[in-house]
Amino acid sequence: MFEKKAYIAMLIFLEDYWERNGQPDALGVLLGSMNPLEDGVPADSAIWNDWLEAVAKSESEWPRQFTS
């Protein structure tokens, strides 16, 4: 469940960025591919596997920590 909530949060973040920055075409194409269809699967189903790989990398390969 974490992966799905994080995915939606990332999608919202990118959509907001896209709106604030003049709706660049390349990001618009990515967002179109990422948008979930009625069954909850991204329009480009390969995106979900890419997302899961990124989650795994963030847990194992990204040692930096956020500091406040």
Question: What is the number of structural domains in the chain?
Answer: 1
Query: What is the span of the domain harbouring residue 11?
Result: 1-31
- Residue 12 belongs to a domain: yes
- Residue 2 belongs to a domain: yes
Q: Collect all residues with Cβ–Cβ distance below 8 Å to 27 and sequence separation of at least 6.
A: 14, 17, 18, 21
Q: How confident is the model over 40-61, as pLDDT tens digits?
A: 889 998 999 999 998 888 887 7
- Residue 55 belongs to a domain: no
- Residue 6 belongs to a domain: yes
Question: Distance between CA 22 and CA 64 in Å, rounded?
Answer: 31
Whether residue 55 contacts residue 3, with contact meaning beta carbons closer than 8 Å, is answered with: yes
Q: How confident is the model over 13-25, as pLDDT tens digits?
A: 999 999 999 999 9
- Residue 13 belongs to a domain: yes
- Residue 11 belongs to a domain: yes
Question: Distance between CA 9 and CA 65 in Å, rounded?
Answer: 19
Query: Among residues 55, 48, 14, 17, which one has the least CA distance to residue 31?
Result: 14
